Structure 1
Amino acid sequence: MAEAGFFGQFGGSFVPPELKEALDYLGSQFEQFKDDKAFNEEYRYYLKEYIGRENPLTYAERLTEKLGGAKIYLKREDLNHTGSHKINNVLGQILLAKRMNAHRVIAETGAGQHGVATATACAMFGMECIIYMGAEDMRRQSLNVFRMELLGAKVIGVEDGQGRLKDAVDAALNDYVANYKETFYLLGSAVGPHPYPTMVKHFHSIISEESKRQIVEKEGRLPDAVMACVGGGSNAIGAFAHYIDEPSVRLIGAEPAEAASLTKGVPAVLHGFKCYVLLDEEGNPQPTYSIAAGLDYPGIGPEHSYLKESGRAEYYTVTNEEVLQAFKELSRIEGIIPALESAHAVALAMKMAPEMAREQIIIVNLSGRGDKDVQQVFEMEQG
């Protein structure tokens, strides 16, 4: 892999010079602190005492028996404080912001889980918090909007475009360009200009650090496959990180059929970095729609783009119908209500596990819990 934030041809930092200066400074601070003993001791303290890590690697025994194929284990990011994997990265970045003496924090959010996590961390450390969220996503995830406001955040609705995640990122980047001297942009996915994809992967790699140790303790060996949902790619890159250099382990991403950047996209620059992007006939980012607001993004993280192009990882699409079936199935069979985002990975595991041998092992990264989605699914069921 190339230096300066490139993964093969993907990544980089295609931004105005003044923003490049701010990002270079952020990158230098990250490099300084990521291996700093005191920083990591504080990070690990909050991972345990505030987030509740390490979380379990749960054998989904009844689901495995019903499917009749590979053994399925669930990495339980849904049990984290705030209900998803997002808090891992937020905690790391907020500790970095604290060391950079930042007092104003901005973030974007789609499903609201990153926004809730950011608002939570800002409340804990007494920082001003502004969250940009698409107007359509605010409607779909109104409970999370209330949670963010309850935690003291100011949520700004973005009416531009489709009023979804891409538009929230646009608005947050515009704010950052205008106010970067006094603002820390806490980006929530493994996307954006360098150093964000590298930072987000670093803080989320705790997922695969734990699961790799846990599966060896439980099964005496590595899994045959690790599966995760992919939107921007933060939970997936964390779930994959410690297996990338283990060629015996298949890395498998589940994309929404309606926002399948890796399956149907082409290399292009989006939001200051190069990745696979869904483009329309005019060469603009294509409108996307997924029932999972957190996956509604026309691009994908640069490292996922590289893993796809190099053949190290595989990416497949699942339909809304398959996702809803997985959402209900896991709830009924295992007593675990998954986030709609996470249900994409469960749906793919339900398709692939029966085709695998019984002695094979799949780890599914259960990136979040479905509390936020129950009302949406209820309304869909009512027709």
Structure 2
Amino acid sequence: MNQYDVTDNGYFGRYGGAYIPEILQKCVEELRINYRRIIDSEDFKNEFDALLRDYVGRPSPLYLSKNLSKLHGCKVYLKREDLNHTGAHKINNAIGQILVARRMGKKRIVAETGAGQHGVATATVCALMGMPCVVYMGALDVQRQRPNVEKMRLLGAEVVAVKSGNQTLKDACNEAIRDWCCHPEDTFYLIGSTMGPHPYPDMVARLQSVISAEIRKQLQEKEGRPTPDYLVACIGGGSNAAGTIFNFLNDDDVKIVYAEAGGKGAESGMTAATLSIGQEGVLHGFRSLIIQDNDGQIVEPYSISAGLDYPGIGPLHAHLVKTGRAQALAINDDEALAAAYELNRIDGILPALESAHALAALHRLTFKPTDIVVVTLSGRGDKDMETYLKHAPQGECPTRYEDIKNNLR
């Protein structure tokens, strides 16, 4: 066991565990006992790998962006998770978890979603496997992610708009857990990120680790070496970030950079920069860094990106930042928008707003000409078109990042 592995009781350093109501003890313990046996079995691996290849379309390309490379003075590769079936990395985890659920005899799926990408992925695999599906989504996110809501409904999912709290991802998680508590025997909670009670953070990271496994192989083919100098990923709960870094954690020369949602500024009160300002606490069944007030009450997060406005962080990521293995940068809304418009103009790729935070992080870093940088594009920007059109720069459309930021409405 190395320092980054989860312990038997579900901790990464100080973070993790399973803080759950008694009614869910049996469900969570059943999953804890079985998840590694299932996902490590040849039967599971064969079915999972076949679906990733033939249904999802993996491996996703590792694209050398000559324009970003010229701009940043190094080699910049984009790991194109946006090209997966359903348009994001979420499908990797959704397929893996529903295969686990089926092997455990579960008959019904519940899930939470913020940007809607996990909801679409869950509805997709439920349609594939013929299982009923309920997706909880904050009412505000339902409004700003309408295309994904309609996709879920077309796929046969019941989408429940949650009107409590800030009506975003945190509140969707609350309702999904309540549903699970009411139907513990036949229901499987298909969590969308590296959060929740153990074993979810570890299980999701392992299912998403296909991303970093492919990066190693693809870099070896393209550069004659399996490791980059930098890995950059956006982070909310942390599933695409975990997938990006999982197979590089013991490569100490690989620098890990997380781009979290700074919102209007990390100290503005309108932010989701958990790694920057969070304090230790318990949320949704796990101990981690949480955005909270002095009384321990959750402070509602904010981000222009529906997939990053979560007040917590996956326990693995909290551990990596607190031990210095990873660096966190709080990227503000205007920086993310400018980075999205920039990539769209210079490479013809419109990223999801979540991924745009990772692209913006490149402008905060200084690279050597010999550096190899891999940025994970976690999803595509179709779902964010209304936001992009609303904030698009006036007049002529510039291509330089600083010019775009200065021209944003």
State how far apart, in whole Å, the 2-side matches of 1:379 and 1:350 are: 24
Among 5, 11, 15, the alignment partner of 1:6 is: 11
Q: CA shift at 1:77, angstroms?
A: 0.3
Equivalent in the alignment of 2:68? 63
Percent sequence identity is 48
1:148-186 superposed Cα distances (whole Å, 9 cap, x missing partner): 000000000100000000000000001111111110100
State how far apart, in whole Å, the 1-side matches of 2:30 and 2:281 are: 26
Q: CA shift at 1:72, angstroms?
A: 0.5
State how far apart, in whole Å, the 1-side matches of 2:28 and 2:8 are: 15
Between stretches 161-170 and 212-221, larger displacement belongs to: 212-221
Aligned length in residues:
380
Q: CA shift at 1:31, angstroms?
A: 1.9
Counterpart AA for 1:109 = T
Indicate whether 1:377 and 2:388 are aligned.
Answer: yes
Conserved 8 A contact 2:235-2:241: yes
Counterpart AA for 2:221 = E
Equivalent in the alignment of 2:403? none
State how far apart, in whole Å, the 2-side matches of 1:103 and 1:269 are: 30
Q: Which runs of 5+ in 2 are unaligned?
A: 263-270, 395-408
Equivalent in the alignment of 1:130? 134
Equivalent in the alignment of 1:111? 115
For residue 153 of structure 2, give the secondary structure of its aligned residue in structure 1. Answer: helix
Equivalent in the alignment of 1:50? 55
Between stretches 73-82 and 93-102, larger displacement belongs to: 93-102
RMSD: 1.1
Among 354, 360, 374, the alignment partner of 1:347 is: 360
State how far apart, in whole Å, the 2-side matches of 1:351 and 1:283 are: 32
Counterpart AA for 2:115 = A
Conserved 8 A contact 2:281-2:296: no
Conserved 8 A contact 2:86-2:120: yes
For residue 209 of structure 1, give the secondary structure of its aligned residue in structure 2. Answer: helix
Equivalent in the alignment of 1:214? 218
1:216-275 superposed Cα distances (whole Å, 9 cap, x missing partner): 211122210100001000100110000100001001100111201011101111111000
Conserved 8 A contact 1:13-1:20: no
Counterpart AA for 2:356 = A
State how far apart, in whole Å, the 1-side matches of 2:152 and 2:323 are: 39
Conserved 8 A contact 2:228-2:372: yes
State how far apart, in whole Å, the 2-side matches of 1:272 and 1:191 are: 8
For residue 110 of structure 2, give the secondary structure of its aligned residue in structure 1. Answer: strand
Q: Which runs of 5+ in 1 are unaligned?
A: none
TM-score by length of 2: 0.91
- Which structure has greater helix proportion? 1
Question: Per chain length, whose mean CA-contact separation is higher, i.e. which structure has more relative contact order (CA < 8 Å, sep 6+)?
Answer: 1
TM-score by length of 1: 0.97
1:258-296 superposed Cα distances (whole Å, 9 cap, x missing partner): 201011101111111000000023321111110110001
Indicate whether 1:281 and 2:285 are aligned.
Answer: no
State how far apart, in whole Å, the 1-side matches of 2:25 and 2:219 are: 41
State how far apart, in whole Å, the 2-side matches of 1:37 and 1:3 are: 23
